[in-house]
């Protein structure tokens, strides 16, 4: 399909791990991104992964990429209440000229104390 | 640096009214974008610009217009507001369009309600 798909909602307990999943559309996407949106604010880049990588770790964040299934995931270890936000995955579509970034539908992460 | 600033933060319009949403960035970015965000729908690209004097349509341009007379400013114009344009609007900018340099920096958003 055309859309970058994510589940709408995820609830976890503080201290547990969170896994947010994303299915993207363009198998030739060179970079894939995770953005975080806190309440009442714009999006901020959390992390990104280059398409020739399977995994990238950055402190509590682990990004896994399965190119065959066009599946991207973001794992947050030891989830804290400050991690409550909406998380968007994004892919780059197109080749040559302007390559557009397309955002997913967003997953709202609720962390229960 | 202030980053990306947007004004106003909130606005209520009547059907048929016009308004301009302002966006300014001080990072000397060539690329600028306007998105709208509707609940459960993610971000939809309205218009984008790859430099001063150059703009192009995104996914949902109908009912909007933009201009880019300077590198810093990228205003979004609604000519005849309709209830379907009730949304949160985000302006963003990036250094380039590819790879890591495509990190987009977002403004705080404008919440628009059309009644």
| Cα A3 to the center of its chain, rounded Å | 14
Q: Which residues pair with B44 in a beta bridge?
A: B36
Q: What is the token pair recorded at B55?
A: 């703009």
Cα separation of A6 and A106, whole Å? Answer: 6
Residue A7 contacts B, CB cutoff 8 Å? no
| CA-wise closest residue to B111 among B9, B14, B7 | B9
pLDDT at B102 over 80: no
A6 φψ region: left (φ > 0), alpha (ψ -120 to 50), beta (else): beta
Q: Select the residue of B4, B90, B104 nearest A101 (Cβ to Cβ).
A: B104
| Cα A43 to the center of its chain, rounded Å | 12
Would you give the DSSP letter of residue A11? E
Q: Residue B25 to residues A65, A113, B46, B78, B105: CA-CA distances in angstroms?
A: 33, 38, 18, 21, 9
Find which of B30, B91, B104, B109 to mutate to test the A interface (most A CBs within 10 Å of its CB): B104
Q: Please report the number of interchain residue pairs, chain A to chain B, with beta-carbon separation below 8 angstroms.
A: 60
Q: Select the residue of A8, A99, A103 nearest B43 (Cβ to Cβ).
A: A103
State the pLDDT confidence band at B101, using cuts at 50, 70 and 90.
low
In this prediction, residues A67-88 reach a mean pLDDT of: 96
In this prediction, residues A61-90 reach a mean pLDDT of: 96
Q: Do A41 and B109 count as a contact with CB atoms less than 8 A apart?
A: yes
pLDDT at A1 over 60: no
Residue A88 contacts B, CB cutoff 8 Å? yes
Residue A105 contacts B, CB cutoff 8 Å? yes
pLDDT at A95 over 70: no
Query: How confident is the model over B19-63, as pLDDT tens digits?
Result: 999 999 999 999 999 999 997 778 999 999 999 999 999 989 999
| CA-wise closest residue to A51 among A21, A30, A66 | A30
The residues of B whose Cβ lies within 8 A of any Cβ of A are 4, 35, 40-43, 45, 48, 50, 56, 58, 90, 92, 97-100, 102-104, 106-109
Of B59 and B77, more confident = B77
Instruction: State whether residue A52 is helix, strand or coil.
Output: coil
Q: What percent of chain B has pLDDT over 70?
A: 96
Q: How many C-beta atoms surround the C-beta of residue A108 within 10 A?
A: 18
* pLDDT value for A28: 79
Provide the mean pLDDT of chain A. 90
pLDDT at B90 over 70: yes
């Amino acid at each position: 399909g055309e859309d970058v798909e994510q589940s709408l909602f995820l609830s976890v307990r503080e201290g547990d791990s969170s896994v947010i999943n994303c299915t993207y559309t363009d198998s030739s996407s060179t970079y894939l991104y995770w953005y975080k949106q806190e309440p009442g604010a714009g999006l901020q880049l959390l992390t990104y992964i280059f398409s020739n990588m399977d995994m990238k770790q950055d402190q509590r964040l682990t990004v896994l990429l399965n190119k065959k299934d066009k599946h991207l995931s973001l794992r947050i270890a030891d989830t804290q209440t400050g991690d409550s936000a909406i998380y968007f995955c994004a892919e780059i579509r197109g080749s040559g000229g302007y390559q557009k970034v397309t955002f997913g539908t967003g997953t709202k992460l609720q962390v229960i104390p | 640096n202030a980053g990306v600033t947007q004004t106003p933060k909130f606005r209520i319009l009547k059907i048929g009214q016009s308004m301009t949403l302002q966006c300014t960035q001080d990072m000397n970015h060539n690329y600028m974008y306007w998105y709208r965000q509707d609940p459960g729908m993610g971000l939809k690209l309205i218009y984008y610009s790859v430099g001063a004097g150059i703009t192009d349509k995104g996914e949902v341009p109908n009912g909007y217009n933009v201009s880019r007379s300077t590198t810093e400013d990228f205003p979004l114009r609604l000519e005849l507001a309709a209830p379907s344009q009730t949304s949160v609007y985000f302006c963003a900018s990036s250094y380039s369009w590819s790879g890591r340099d495509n990190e987009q920096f977002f403004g705080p958003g404008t919440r628009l309600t059309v009644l």
